[in-house]
Chains A and B, each alone.
Chain A
Amino acid sequence: MTDNSTIPVLPVLIAKDFASDQEPKWCPGCGDHAVLQQIKNVLPELGIAPENIVFVSGIGCSSRLPYYLATYGVHGIHGRALPMATGLKVSRPELSVWVGTGDGDALSIGGNHFIHTLRRNPDLNVVLFNNEIYGLTKGQYSPTSKIGLRTVTSPSGVIDQPFNTAALTIGSGGSFFARAFDRDGRFLRSILKRAALHKGTSLVEIYQNCPIFNGAAFEAFASPDNKANNTVYLEQSKPLIFAKGKRGILLDGFQPIVVDLDKEGISSSDLWIHDEADINKASILAHFADDHADSEESLPRPFGVFYAKERITYEDALTAQIDDAQKNGSGTFEELLKGDQSYVIK
């Protein structure tokens, strides 16, 4: 006899089951719509009941994300989504906790929380919408804006060196970094799923188009030709090949070099083989972005999982300490009040 009552029956959910009753209020053409769609596509694949999923966000266009998903959601204050999510995850480790944040939210006002969350490694799925601009406040430069960008607050051009999100993540001790593009929906979906399955803080940087204030930011990777020549898609254990198979990347010591596969008699086995678990290679990949993709020898912009290596999560480490403290039984209420230095007056 099978007792069916003990087996939870999960209804088969589809993307639209994860849409809330609120109409997204992002601008037409905003990359946020595409990201929202891919999140809705991925959630049913995870087999997690909607009531066990929480989206936490800070402030900014992208931080409106929780309102549009039929899960639990909290829209917090500017820059503080990560500590809010950490507190929630630490107290409720069984929940699937996601963070929607932007380049200003995560890297400027929330920069401190960004680095510290990554080093602690709570199991959060962080979706960082990087549009290299402040959208909600109408077009001021952000910590990822390129040098020279003219905005309302940088009329003569930005002079701040932008943050390199990948390098910052890896440098902070992050256990997972991937980059995706709003316009490449299928790839974004696969990356989001990888991130969700990673136990630990997974940081997904999404190049997200702001057509109103910074429409040119990712043009270099947008059109089919540009995409082919200026991007490389990372696949585990596969060589780094791009430009429709014509070019590859060779690692000469620590130096990545673009090679022409047709002309130079180099076979794919000579090329850099991608290894997600290699933090040194991930660091070199992170700095590809320092090259501005403006010549044939330029390094392409990598997309995909740069680095993924699981280590103990913050909440698991804390739970283990509590379990250890309770191995001879948990403390009683009376013991708590009495303490261990009480004395009796007769």
Chain B
Amino acid sequence: MTDTTKSTRQVNVTSKTSVSVLFAGDSGDGMQLTGTQFANTVATQGTELNTFPNFPSEIRAPAGTIAGVSGFQLQFSSKPVYTPGARFDVMVAMNSAALKANLKDLHRGGIIIAGTEGFDEKNLKLAGYPAGSNPLEDGSLSNYILFPVPILQLTREALKESGLSSKEIDRCKNMFVLGLLYWLYTLPLEGTFETLRAKFQKNVHMAEANIRAVKAGYFFGDETELFANLGRFDIAPQKQHGVYRRVTGNEACAIALTAASKKAGLQLFLGSYPITPATEILSTLAKKKKYGVKTFQAEDEIAGIVSSIGAAYGGALAATNTSGPGLALKTEALGLAVILEVPLVVINVQRGGPSTGLPTKPEQSDLFMAMYGRHGEAPLPVIAACSPVDCFYCTYEAARIAVEHMTPVICLTDGYLALSSEPWKVESPDNLPDITPHFHAPRQPEDPPFLPYKRDDRLVRAWAIPGTKGLEHRIGGLEKQNETGNVSHDPENHELMTKLRAQKINQIADSIPLQTIDNGPKNGDLLVLGWGSSYGAIKTAVEQAIEQGYNVAHAHLRYIHPFPKNLGEILGNYKKILIPELNNGQLIHIIRDTFLIAPEGFTKIQGVPFNEMEILIKITDLLKELQS
């Protein structure tokens, strides 16, 4: 009897364009699950959406401490959103540590829904509040709209006859919160009920208890006087018609590799070693056996890439996925793939470094390694994805370049893209570009000798795979004679081969799209040149700057090596170039080196993504400086 569209009481419903919510609690509080379920419900309404989970690198950091806080942020909106929100409007804080860790990012005047049980003496002490002070009671939160809710007590009351153990009942408190937020944002409950029934198929009691907790949260919103003044909110959906799914960056990479193998008519082989935050690409593909996908969890990063090189030599679409430390281990093998000239997709999900660094946090600091991190002259294409959905298109493009140009390709994503999600309008196979492998045909004894390194006009050699009659040949890591591929130490030949390999990569610029301006004038005062996951923050900041009347444009690079052929021309059309990066300045070096210009850098190395406000401030400061 749950009418989820209308409140039983007369509570005001205010329409809003967009809202950013943070679910934060202890890592054991189920905040990731709550956030994911809330996002699914929002998405199925057709609302624009962007999510970002933020959790500690320890599986179970000490309960109640700041280190143990796990958060899930999402922004949903009537218009396109590209970030989870620079600051959130609503924060659910299941305990005092969650509040303390995140309060600085809550809008002044924002809503706090605090689970009061998480603010007892013990929790306050663990979170580092001075003895005797409780932020829920001492007036320190007077700049916010505070709703203290005894979440645990209300959940226990709702489930006292559920037959569940008290431990199990307590674990349902996140569903109470979910229900309360559904009420607050006038969202339907049925989708969640279905999910819970499917999830606890074998435990009906558990499913029903969770459903009851969701309902209890919803009815609490309805019945309590607490929210009478605030009222409820409604975010009108604006999505176009169609079939959608919500994807994270890592899922999108995995789907793209499989799609590329289907399009190319090749078997997909992924040789990989688990590493945060790249592992979901391996685990997602391990579940794609129905599509004939072969995954190989190797003994180490090196075996991961080398097994893929073996599969590529055998004619498979071969890939490996990793993060910084793993890419470092793969560099020698990447050189082998370069000299063998076999197709290989390397997805590097960047994280904070050096060394183990910040394993669960994003950073864009592997660009130099992707570009130059090999011994010898070993150029290869480098491309970068800019959003969770773009991880699909970028990985697919990496596979296309690898197969059609017989080269390893590095596709850069990062921990932010990998774990963030957004709705993706499901692509039709026909709309995806063709991927055409060039296999060498069998050879008869009377045919001219087979030349494994004979090149076409794009300087690409043919793929000569074992099992093809008459093409038996031997190749390897040693420098090879031009065309024959036989071992050669001849000085001029080595120079020739080095230049041919570099030229082959440079010529890929002929087959990639020209650089476009994402937003703003074609020439003017300032161009913000970005790459990778900073897309959303830059896009939002530039949109706002343009609205405020600033002369600024945004271009976002997908192809970093080789650059699109018109990039130099574009850069010449603006008085100033601003390059924001989540590193200590890497793309800026490459741009300076390639185009002999002096862009302005803007770096952030904090293990967290840019937010639109800091970029907006940088843009306006620069433009004011330029005008004075």
A: residues with CB less than 8 A from B are: 20, 22, 49-57, 59, 66-67, 69-77, 80, 82-92, 94-95, 112-113, 115-116, 318, 321-322, 324-326, 330-331, 333-334, 336-339, 341-346
A51-B467, A322-B294, A326-B289 known; A334+B313 contact, CB < 8 A: no
B299 at the interface (CB under 8 A from A): yes
Asked if residues B466 and A51 are in contact (CB atoms below 8 Å), the reply is yes
Flag whether B373 is at the interface (Cβ < 8 A). Answer: no
Say yes or no: A52-B467 contact (C-beta < 8 A), given A336-B258, A338-B245, A345-B241. Answer: yes
Contact of A83 among B240, B267, B306, B428 (CB under 8 A): B306
Interface residue B367 (Cβ < 8 Å from any Cβ of A) = no
Interface string of B500-534 (1 = CB under 8 A from A): 00000000000000000000000000000000000
Complex-state Cα separation, A275 to B245, whole angstroms: 59
CB-defined A-B contacts under 8 Å, sample of 27: A52-B466, A52-B467, A59-B477, A67-B474, A77-B306, A80-B306, A83-B303, A87-B271, A91-B310, A95-B466, A112-B303, A113-B303, A115-B299, A116-B298, A322-B289, A325-B289, A331-B288, A331-B291, A336-B255, A336-B291, A337-B259, A338-B245, A339-B426, A342-B426, A345-B241, A345-B244, A346-B241
Q: Are A338 and B243 in contact (CB under 8 A)?
A: yes
Contact A345 B239 (CB under 8 A): yes
B302 at the interface (CB under 8 A from A): yes
Contact status B306-A84, CB under 8 Å: yes
Alpha-carbon distance between A50 and B351 when the two chains are bound, in angstroms: 46
Given A82-B303, A345-B46; 7 other pairs, CB 8 A cutoff = A66-B476, A73-B474, A73-B476, A75-B475, A87-B306, A87-B318, A345-B241
Interface segment, B173-181, B274-282, B332-340?
Answer: B332-340
Q: Is B292 in contact with A322, judged by CB distance below 8 angstroms? A: yes
Closest to A324 in B: B289
| Cβ of B498 under 8 Å from chain A | no
Contacts of B599 in A (CB 8 A): none
> Shortest CB–CB separation between residue A35 and chain B, in angstroms?
17
Contact A80 B245 (CB under 8 A): no
B309–A84 CB distance below 8 A: yes
CA distance A56 to B477 in the complex (A): 12
Query: Is the pair A77, B290 in contact by a Cβ cutoff of 8 Å?
Result: no
* Residues of B close to A321: CB separation below 8 A: 289
Q: Give the 7 A-B CB pairs with smallest separation, nearest first.
A: A75-B476, A87-B310, A87-B307, A325-B289, A83-B303, A73-B474, A88-B310
Q: Is B314 an interface residue (CB 8 A)?
A: yes
A75 to B480 CA separation, bound complex (whole angstroms): 12
CB pair B269 A87 closer than 8 Å: yes
Residue numbers in A under 8 Å from B223 (CB-CB): none
Q: Which of B237, B313, B427 has the most CB of A within 10 A?
A: B313
Give CA–CA (A85, B469) in the complex, Å: 20
Cβ contact of A330, chosen from B245, B291, B296, cutoff 8 A? B291
Tally chain B residues at the interface, Cβ within 8 Å. 70
In the docked arrangement, what's the CA distance between A217 and B46, Å? 75
Q: Does B429 contact A (CB under 8 A)?
A: yes
Complex interface: chain B residues within 8 A of A330 (CB): 290-292
Query: Cβ of B134: which chain A residues have Cβ within 8 Å of it?
Result: none
Q: How far is the CB of B376 from chain A (nearest CB, A)?
A: 12
CB neighbours (8 Å) of B318 from chain A are 87, 91
Interchain CB contact under 8 A, A75 and B477: yes
Q: How far is the CA of A90 from the CA of B269 in the complex (A)?
A: 9
- A342:B336 contact, CB within 8 angstroms: no
A74-B313, A83-B310, A342-B245 known; A116-B303 Cβ under 8 A: yes
A123 to B: closest C-beta gap in Å = 14
Smallest CB-CB separation from A73: which chain B residue?
A: B474
Q: Please state if A92 and B467 are interface contacts (CB–CB under 8 Å).
A: yes
Chain B window 310-321, contacts with chain A (Cβ cutoff 8 Å), 1 for yes, 0 for no: 111111101000
Q: Residue on A with the closest CB to B269?
A: A91
**Cβ contact within 8 Å between A67 and B487:** yes
Chain B, residues 185-224, CB within 8 Å of chain A (1/0): the string is 0000000000000000000000000000000000000000
> With A94-B467, A333-B429, A343-B244 known to touch, is A73 a contact of B473 (CB < 8 Å)?
yes
Which residues from A are CB-within-8-Å of B304? 83
Known: A22-B486, A87-B310, A342-B244. A333 touches B43 (CB 8 A): no
Residues on the B chain within 8 Å of A83, using CB: 271, 298-299, 302-304, 306-307, 310
Q: Contacts A54-B466, A342-B244 known; A71 to B307 CB distance under 8 Å?
A: no
Query: What is the bound-complex CA distance between A343 and B43, given in angstroms?
Result: 9
A59→B426 CA distance, assembly (Å): 47
| Chain A residues with CB below 8 A from B315, complex form | 91-92
With an 8 A cutoff between CB atoms, is B148 at the interface?
Answer: no
Of chain B, the residue at the smallest CB distance from A50 is B472
- Residues on the A chain within 8 Å of B426, using CB: 337-339, 342
For A55, the chain B residues whose CB sits under 8 A away are 474
List of A residues within 8 angstroms of B262 by Cβ:
333, 336
A86 pairs with B476, CB closer than 8 A:
no
B470 within 8 A of A: yes
